[in-house]
Amino acid sequence: DQTIGVEKKITLKWGEYEIIGYIDRLSRDKKGVYYIHDYKSGSIIMNQEYADKDHQLALYSIAVKENHKEAKEVKLVWHFVAFGEDVFSKRTDKELKELKSNILELIGEVNLAEKEDNFPAQETMCEWCGFWKHCPKKKHLYKTEQLPKNEYLKEDGIKLAKKYIELAEKRTDVNRDNRIRSEAITQEMWKIEEAILIYAKKNNIEALNGGDKLVSINKKQDYDIPRKSYDLERYEELENLLQKTRYWSDISTIADKKLKELLDEKEIDSDLKKKILEIVPMKDSISLSIRKK
C-alpha cells in the first residue's frame, strides 16, 4: 500500500465543536481502500470485540471519509509490534452516524455539568490527563511548575497558598495550649482565605500550588438549614411548619441529616416541599482544604 501521511493531523468540525487527532500512519491500496494504522508497543493484544467498539480510530475514519471522498472503504488496523500481530476492524456509515450522535450528546452533558458546576475531577485519573493547563484543579500547579525558581517564589498564588498552609500548621500546634492565640491565627487565616478566593475566581482555578502541598477550593450546594443558636426566627418558622405534618414524629427536632432525607424523599408532598425550601433554600458552600500533591 501507499503511505499518505505519518502522524497525520485530522480535524473534525461539528458546529461549534472541533475534534483534533493524529493518525500514526494513513495509507491506501490500489483498490482505493484507505487504512488507518495505530502502532501499539504494549504487552497486551486487543481482542476483536474491543477493536469493533473502539471510538478513537472510528472518529479518525469519519475525518478520512470527509477528506477523501474517493475512498472506497476505510479500514482500521492496530499493529501490536511486540507480537508481530495485527487486528483489523471497520465501521458502517450507520455506525459512524451513531458514534457522531453519541459524541455530540456526551459533549452536551459535559457542557451542562460544567455550567452547573457539577464536574468534579476524577482524582485517580488526573495523572494520566494531558489537559492540566485547562483544568481549574490543576492549571495553577501546571503553570507555576514551569516557572524559574526566582519567579516561582514570587508568584501571588504560591505566596497565598504557602501563607495559608503555614498558618494552618501553626494553629494546629498552638490549639492545645493557647486558645486566644489560636483564635488570632484563625482570624488571619480568614483574611488569607478571602484573598485566595479572589485570586481563584479571577484566574478560574480550584487549587493553588503551595510547594509540597496544595490548597484546594471545595464548592458544593447544600440546604441552608437554620440554627437555633443564631437564626432563631427562621428556625422557629421551620419548626412550626413541620410540627403540623405527619413527618414531625420521625424528625422530632431539626437535624441536618433527617431534614435532608425528608427533602430528598420522592413521596414528600410537593406543596410542603415548596414551603420548606422557601425557608431552607439551596446555597453555595465554599471551603478550603490542604492536601498533599
- What tens digit of pLDDT does each residue of 103-136 get? 999 888 887 776 665 656 556 778 788 888 888 8
When the pLDDT of each residue in the chain is averaged and rounded to a whole number, the result is: 87
Instruction: Please say if the pLDDT value at position 156 is more than 90.
Output: yes
pLDDT at 79: 96
CA–CA distance, 96 with 69 (Å, rounded to integer): 15
pLDDT of residue 43: 83
Closest listed residue to residue 157, CA positions, set 215, 100, 96: 215
Burial of 242: CB neighbours in 10 Å, binned 0-12, 13-18, 19+: buried
* Contact call for residues 283 and 161 (beta carbons, < 8 A): no
pLDDT in tens, 177-186: 677 788 888 8
Identify the pLDDT of residue 165.
93
Across the range 245-262, mean pLDDT stands at 73
- Given this model, what pLDDT does residue 37 score? 97
pTM of the full structure: 0.51
pLDDT of 253: 67
The winner for highest mean pLDDT among 110-119, 151-160, 281-290 is 151-160
Give me the pLDDT at residue 243, please.
Answer: 85
Residues 47-60, mean pLDDT to the nearest whole number: 94
- What is the DSSP pairing of strand 73-80 with strand 33-40? parallel
- Please tell me the distance from the alpha carbon of residue 63 to that of residue 21, in angstroms, as a whole number: 10
Give pLDDT, residue 173.
78
**pLDDT above 70 (res 258):** yes
In this model, does residue 219 exceed pLDDT 90? no
- Is residue 266 predicted with pLDDT exceeding 70? no
Judged against a pLDDT cut of 70, whether residue 137 lies above it is answered with: yes
Which residue in this structure is represented by grid cell 422557629? 236
Residue 230: its pLDDT value, please? 75
Name which of 31-45, 155-169, 232-246 the model is least confident about.
232-246
For the chain, how many helices (H) and strands (E)?
A: 11, 8
Amino acid at 122: Q
What separation in angstroms does the CA of 201 have from each of 14, 33, 126, 211, 262? Answer: 31, 52, 22, 21, 34
Percent of the chain, pLDDT > 90? 48
In this prediction, residue 228 carries a pLDDT of 76
pLDDT value at residue 102: 92
Of the listed ranges 112-126, 156-170, 241-255, 257-271, the least confidently predicted one is: 112-126
Least confident of 100-104, 110-114, 250-254, 255-259: 250-254
pLDDT in tens, 6-18: 999 999 999 889 9
